[in-house]
Chain A
Amino acid sequence: MTAPRTLYDKIWDDHVVHQAEDGTCLLYIDRHLVHEVTSPQAFEGLRMTGRRVRAPEKTIAVPDHNVPTTLDRANAATMTEDSRVQVEALDKNARDFGINYYPVSDVRQGIVHIVGPEQGWTLPGMTVVCGDSHTATHGAFGALAHGIGTSEVEHVLATQTLIQRKGRNMKVEITGSLMPGVTAKDITLSVIGATGTAGGTGYVIEYCGQAIRELSMEGRMTVCNMAIEGGARAGLIAPDETTFAYCMGRPHAPKGAKWEAAVAYWKTLFSDEGAHWDKVVTLKGEDIAPVVTWGTSPEDVLPISGVVPAPSDFIGGKVEAAQRSLDYMGLTPGMKLTDIAIDTVFIGSCTNGRIEDLRAAAAILKGKKIAVKRAMVVPGSGLVRAQAEEEGLAQIFIDAGFEWRLAGCSMCLAMNPDQLQPGERCAATSNRNFEGRQGRGGRTHLLSPAMAAAAAITGHLTDVREMMSQTA
């Protein structure tokens, strides 16, 4: 009898190539996703040492961070010189090293963490890495997925392995069901609010409980995507029928007998009864409200019914950090969150740029007009964009006054021309509200797509539940 194991333990055990006496492991990597910003130095390293990509068939590249999202982006002049150099370097590296590639001109192009699952590259039980911290997204499939630095990108390209030490096991259970108007984004932000941005450091989180089981794959990806914002390198959700149904028929998912064998294996991927957890956090699904962030750390989360806190509400180093956040955000303690006026609304990103996110926002926006200075929807991939057009969602956004963009990371990190101006205040469905994240001096409030849509209509942060009762 083997001792009871967690899902993380099982995936880890199945990927150990070599274990040194001090516990350092060489871990096999099943899928390596690559984008243009964190890979050029890694490919250059291969060239300088005469090394090849060990498993090009398991390596998938797509440009996403830098690419313009305006409709005229086929014109190279829409990109700045340095951005263009990075995208062209990826074009060349993909060609030279023979890896799978979705160029800007391909309808399947999009944010790497949306393209991977969409094309069936991401499957349960795999190890998935990418030179991007939001690789945690793929954990929604019960894959061990995390971000790596550029030196590790080069290591994986050359060896298809990573040198790793095993993390600890953390269980985050969301019991019961979510109330109407509450979404996966509210779960993941609420967990970070409860644990802090360093609460998951050194851990791999497994999200479980009824509220997680009731989420679609899109919602599960939103939850796991922000595991890194809680400090955990990876978040996991055990695969189930919802997972299998999502994977079935995807271009790179197995077919026929291989599919049957895969599902049989995937059904063994769950945490055993009696498995050891180093840390357990439990939230009641019913208690989770639609939330927003007020500060410059993703842990600065409050229910929309709350007020801006005072630095004196905190202890230790957070007192100074809270004061700095309030100054940066231009907010006064005691102010109602719903009184915060919004200039700009951004719907998109690897956190919330999938079809379900666009449906949720469109459901609120239907027949309404925006009351903010600008609003944009940036679909997570060309295929999400096409599907949203087919479902009539694009027209709802356009009629409401949103810009309907092409796929990319866009204003989530503002590496392309989609940026906030100093002092501009944005309701964003992305994942980070750091100082300068969306543009120098820009002020970010993180929230769900439905909440972003509600803010777009009223011009200030708004409890989407009030809007739902209006339309009901």
Chain B
Amino acid sequence: MTPFTTLTGIAAPMPLVNIDTDMIIPKQFLKTIQRSGLGKNLFDEMRYTQDGAEIPGFVLNQPAYRHAEILIAGDNFGCGSSREHAPWALLDFGIRCVISTSFADIFYNNCFKNGILPIVLPQDVVDVLMADAQKGANARVTVDLAAQTVTTSDGQSFAFDLDSHRKHCLLNGLDDIGLTLEKAAAIDSYEAKATMTRPWV
């Protein structure tokens, strides 16, 4: 996994609330057996007409936001299914950070497994960032994971919370499975004990 340290990039505004994973990546694109290549179908039904033409009004089709690396989104972003294809599609498009007032749990978790940083901030701060993002390509937002700050194009800085384990893994691009396998002895002893206490499992 690519480490996430700092990111300065274009932020695209998507104020709609409850953007679900079916919107992020519709089911017809879940038939892949790979992780890559989903970026072209990110937000497919909002982004393209039925015959594949771009819908000019959609934010990521506008010249200012075609190279966005950050999304500023409405509340409850990523609700719905557990499909990790949603963060895969965001990443493949080039989005490495999403900022909202809240995220659905599974989506939030999936982001960290893919080097994407989801940031939760209060409504008044998200409003400021949304207004900043609406300025277009000249408004570049800076995210500093080590310092846990988001800074707008005009220098306003906001701190965000993040649990220390996730921060550590993201900063260092660590593979969870490798870390867990270091605890194999603890898993072995748990299994041995559980076999005694709950032998029917």
Residues on A close to B: CB < 8 A? 14, 17-18, 20, 22, 24, 26, 28, 30, 37-38, 40-41, 44, 49, 51, 54, 58, 65-66, 80, 82-83, 85-86, 89, 123, 125-126, 131-133, 135, 146-152, 154-155, 158-161, 163, 165, 167, 197-198, 201-202, 228, 231, 233, 253-254, 258-259, 261-262, 265, 297, 299, 316-318, 320-321, 324, 413-415, 422, 432, 434-437, 440-441
Contacts and interface: CB of A to CB of B under 8 A. Distances in A.
Contacts, number: 190
27 contacts: A22-B165, A26-B186, A28-B191, A38-B84, A40-B33, A54-B187, A80-B31, A85-B33, A123-B200, A123-B201, A131-B84, A132-B82, A148-B82, A149-B106, A149-B110, A159-B177, A159-B184, A163-B176, A197-B76, A197-B79, A198-B75, A201-B76, A231-B79, A265-B198, A318-B17, A415-B27, A432-B81
Nearest to A55: B191
A18 B106 contact: no
Contact of B106 (A17, A147, A415): A147
Contact of A258 (B17, B110, B187, B199): B199
Interface in B17-42: 17-18, 20, 22-23, 26-28, 30-35
Contact of B113 (A30, A147, A152): A152
B82 A435 contact: no
A58 B187 CA distance: 15
Give 4 closest A-B pairs by Cβ, nearest first. A254-B200, A151-B113, A317-B17, A149-B110
B17 A22 contact: no
Given A82-B32, A233-B105, A159 B200 contact: no
Contacts of A150: 35, 84
B118 interface: no
Which of A133, A155, A265 has the most C-beta atoms of chain B within 10 angstroms of its own C-beta? Answer: A133
A96 B191 CA distance: 24
A277 B17 CA distance: 28
A163 B165 contact: yes
A436 B30 CA distance: 14
A437 B201 CA distance: 36
Interface string B177-201: 1011101101100110010001111
A34 to B, nearest CB: 13
B109 A149 contact: yes
B16 A440 contact: no
A22 B164 contact: yes
A22 B106 CA distance: 20
A51 B177 contact: yes
B104 interface: yes
Nearest to B28: A415
Contacts of A413: 27, 81
A376 B122 CA distance: 45
B30 A415 contact: yes
Contacts of A85: 31, 33
Contact of B15 (A167, A265, A317): A317
A41 B87 CA distance: 14
B186 A434 contact: no
A133 B31 contact: no
A324 B32 CA distance: 30
B50 interface: yes
B74 A422 contact: no
Nearest to B181: A159
Contacts of A152: 109-110, 113
Interface in B47-72: 50
A231 B101 CA distance: 14
A148 B82 CA distance: 6
B82 A133 contact: yes
Interface in B102-135: 102-106, 109-110, 113-114
Nearest to A198: B76
Given A86-B33, A261-B199, 20 more contacts: A17-B190, A22-B163, A65-B30, A82-B31, A85-B31, A86-B31, A131-B84, A133-B81, A149-B87, A155-B176, A163-B180, A198-B75, A198-B79, A201-B104, A228-B106, A317-B15, A320-B17, A413-B81, A436-B45, A440-B45
Contact of A30 (B103, B104, B114, B201): B201
A125 B30 CA distance: 32
Which of B180, B183, B194 has the most C-beta atoms of chain A within 10 angstroms of its own C-beta? Answer: B180
Nearest to A150: B84
A441 B44 CA distance: 13
A165 B162 CA distance: 12
Contacts of A24: 163, 165
Contact of B187 (A17, A37, A233): A17
Contacts of A321: 16-18, 74
Contacts of A415: 27-28, 30-31
A265 B87 CA distance: 40
Contacts of A125: 198
A123 B201 CA distance: 8
B92 to A, nearest CB: 13
A201 B102 contact: yes
Given A201-B102, A434-B20, A159 B187 contact: yes
Interface in B128-182: 163-165, 176-177, 179-181
Given A233-B106, A297-B18, A26 B74 contact: no
Contacts of A89: 33
